A and B are shown apart, each in its own frame.
Chain A
Amino acid sequence: MKVLVAVKRVVDYNVKVRAKADGSDVDLNNVKMAINPFCEIAVEEAVRLKEAGVATEVIAVSVGEKSCQEQIRTAMALGADRGIQVETDAGVEPLVVAKLLKGVVDKEQPQLVILGKQSIDGDNNQTGQMLGALANMAQGTFASEVVVDGDKVNVTREVDGGLQTVSLNLPAIVTTDLRLNEPRYASLPNIMKAKKKQLDVYSPADLGVEVTSHLTQVKVEPPAERKAGVKVADVDELIDKLKNEAKVIS
């Protein structure tokens, strides 16, 4: 079974991001970049499927500028067998990415596509679902457990108030939630091996996709500063404020 995993290059989760002075975007100058944590979970899951003998090949794909090859290499150091970069300088938005991934799906014909449920930069939570619709594939989103069973994949989903398990016909799409697994770090010998793995670069035209943006980013601003709190003299005053000012108890 061939597994395709999508990885996105995003700001490292440890970085405190700042908005640019003109409010046009987040300032990415000299900022540490990394694989989106949800995508890292997706890679881990695919590699585990390979280690378990379920998957035969794991392909990591990323859409973006040349720099995203760094994240594809990381995915290969974590265990993906080869990589694909779809090169585009355009600001990539969910629908465009989904269309490009659909092009890769058509080319590679994977049985399973694993994506992060969202990326920590845009927080859109759309790409997997859009790809499902475009490729006409079943989808199991927010996965906390993935079990391949013959020509089906059972996906346990984290939904409000509990867990739901869906059984999907392969080929299918899975998007990962945080609790699906704990990603490994790449070992040094695997980092060195990743250097020699195949990485193909396609343009959107190679995939027959036209990149047109449907979104305009209007403004980026930091969250409002937290206001200083107040000190209350005693419990009575606290209860009074909770009742009458905050109106959180009655």
Chain B
Amino acid sequence: MDFQLSDEHKMIAETAYKLGESFGLEYWREMDAKKSFPKEIWQAICDAGLSGAALPEEYGGSDLGMFEMALIVENLSASGGGSTLGQLFMINPIFGGVTISKFGTDAMKRDMLPKLISGEMNTCMALTESNAGSNTLEIRSFAAQDGDGWLLNGEKIWITAVSDAQKMLVIARTKKIDEVTRRTDGLSMFMIDVDRKGLTHHSIDKLGTRTLSSETVFFEDVRIEPDELVGTLHGGWKELLDTLNTERIVTTAGLVGAGQLAIRLAVAYANEREVFGKTPIGAYQGLQFPLAQTHAEIECARLMNYKAAAQFDAGQPYSSEANAAKLIAAQAASMATERSMQTMGGMGYATESHVERLWRDARLFRFAPVSEEMILNFIAVHDLGMPRSY
């Protein structure tokens, strides 16, 4: 087992870190306050070729894997972005890039991949519905056959960055749930325009990850053209899992970076701040131990995420690893940001210390894109062979 990074890996990590540093924490503070999509840094990320890391070379990508993607996201997150950085990589390179490069038609690849890699196009993915939630297979949005295409009706909730996207990956039923014997049957993926007759969306006000909108989406007789089907008609579920599981790897990488950043800010503060006499508060074990504990957990999550990514890249099963890494990373990043704020006392509550943004953002990932409980369910049932409780 070789834990050494190659020279190229070190350079990739370095580029990502330097790029993030060149924008810095203040950039994110400002974007967060304005609730504005971080366009400038996303463009810089695309210009440096980082969004196309795992996408095919013939469309402008670098044909690397999820491992390199994890390195990139981790470093961009640690150098200022925090956990929300992972979401930028979800919406474009994963929801758009991975889905299209694995299951899209040649025309879709030619049209979308170069634009996703260069930063000209953003995508979003509409899966979640309010009546289904974690029970994804219960979604009811329905695409009914309409001549050679489909007519889509239904609604979605919590869809990230719809307003800033041109294309939407929609997951809908193409067979009614009561007409199938297995609920995984009859689901299909479509890549449609966000700007289309019958499609409306509204933003939800929320606690964190404020540079990316979260939106409800309504479909009223939205026409889908025949060439907008991605992958297999009725067989979209199995294919979607590759999108969702790679999303997990990127999420974890964002969390690992966020934890590292929160701890770094806390340590820098604690080693300077003196309250009782000349002893820096960093010398108190009551402050040290929780930071040391989360550091250890972050490092474990990082390693498990590398394993998941390496297995994905080698074409081996990786969902147990990806789930375990995401579970621990989300808890550790939450704890790291929480303890970082506690370490700073009142200053941790001020936006100028940045940790309150990291704290708000990291909280999301304990229940999204998949909740802690659903991961524990997965581990209990799949890894431990226990009965399903629901």
Contacts and interface: CB of A to CB of B under 8 A. Distances in A.
A13 interface: no
Given A188-B12, A192-B62, A69 B48 contact: no
Contacts of B47: 187
A176 to B, nearest CB: 19
Contacts, number: 47
B182 interface: no
A67 to B, nearest CB: 10
Contacts of B14: 34, 74, 185-186
A249 interface: no
Contacts of B62: 188-189, 192
Interface string A188-220: 111110110000000000000000000000000
Given A187-B49, A228-B278, A70 B12 contact: no
A191 B18 contact: no
Interface in B249-298: 278
Contact of A185 (B10, B19, B53): B19
Contact of A74 (B11, B19, B48, B49): B11
Contacts of B12: 188, 191
Contacts of A73: 7-8, 11
A34 B15 CA distance: 12
B7 A188 contact: no
A190 B18 CA distance: 16
Contacts of A189: 49, 62
A188 B48 contact: yes
A250 B281 CA distance: 39
Contact of A186 (B15, B52, B53): B15
Contacts of A34: 14
Contact of B15 (A69, A70, A185, A228): A185
Contacts of B52: 188
Contact of A188 (B10, B18, B50, B278): B50
A85 to B, nearest CB: 13
B7 A69 contact: yes
A191 B11 contact: yes
A140 B14 CA distance: 31
Nearest to A195: B8
Contacts of A190: 49
Contacts of A188: 12, 15, 48-50, 52-53, 62, 64
A247 B278 CA distance: 27
B278 A185 contact: no
A69 B6 CA distance: 12
A185 B22 CA distance: 10
A168 interface: no
A41 interface: no
A187 B11 contact: no
Nearest to A67: B7
B264 to A, nearest CB: 11
A77 interface: yes
Contacts of A77: 11
A34 B18 CA distance: 13
Contacts of B7: 69-70, 73-74
B8 A192 contact: yes
A111 to B, nearest CB: 29
A166 B12 CA distance: 39
A187 B8 contact: no
Contacts of A185: 14-15, 18-19, 22, 48
B324 to A, nearest CB: 27
Q: Which of A73, A191, A192, A195 has the most CB of B within 10 A?
A: A191
Nearest to A35: B14
B273 to A, nearest CB: 16
Contacts of B18: 185
A190 B49 CA distance: 9
A187 B10 contact: no
Point out which of A77, A186, A188, A195 has the most chain B C-beta atoms below 10 A from its C-beta: A188
Interface string A214-230: 00000000000000100
Contacts of B53: 188
Contacts of A186: 11, 14-15
A4 B52 CA distance: 32
A87 B52 CA distance: 36
Contacts of B11: 73-74, 77, 186, 191, 194
A185 B47 CA distance: 11
Given A69-B7, A70-B7, A73-B7, A187 B278 contact: no
B274 to A, nearest CB: 10
A194 B10 CA distance: 13
Nearest to B14: A185
Q: Report the 5 A-B pairs with minimum CB-CB distance, sorted nearest first.
A: A188-B49, A185-B18, A185-B15, A187-B48, A187-B49
27 contacts: A70-B7, A73-B7, A73-B8, A74-B7, A74-B11, A74-B14, A77-B11, A185-B14, A185-B19, A185-B22, A185-B48, A186-B11, A186-B14, A186-B15, A187-B15, A187-B47, A188-B15, A188-B48, A188-B53, A188-B64, A191-B8, A191-B12, A192-B8, A192-B64, A194-B11, A195-B8, A228-B278
Given A185-B18, A187-B49, A188-B15, 10 more contacts: A73-B8, A74-B11, A185-B14, A185-B22, A186-B14, A186-B15, A187-B48, A188-B12, A188-B64, A191-B11
